[in-house]
Amino acid sequence: MAFQIVAELCTACGDCSSVCPTNSISAYKGVYRIDPNSCSECEGEGEPGSPQCVDACMEDGCIIPV
């Protein structure tokens, strides 16, 4: 499974991109998106069950599991 960014909620701040250990988050058409093929949900990184992009995002509900 991977995560996705809800475009309508994304403010394009880039906070999520800078913390992604797999570099799966990139700018796309004025907002950010997550590549589901490389997103590991931060498995093996930091606290289990706590993806770093979700923790970094200040917009509630912007980054959700697919």
Kindly report, residue by residue over 9-55, the tens digit of the pLDDT.
999 999 999 999 999 999 999 999 999 999 999 987 766 667 999 99
Query: In the chain, where are the structural domains located?
Result: 3-65
**63, pLDDT greater than 80:** yes
What per-residue confidence (pLDDT) applies to 35? 97
* Backbone angles phi and psi of 33, in degrees to 5: -140, 160
Do 23 and 52 meet the contact criterion of CB atoms below 8 Å apart?
Answer: no
> Which CATH number, 3.20.20.10, 1.20.950.20, 3.30.70.20, 3.90.105.10, labels domain 3-65?
3.30.70.20
Cα separation, 21 vs 43, whole angstroms: 10
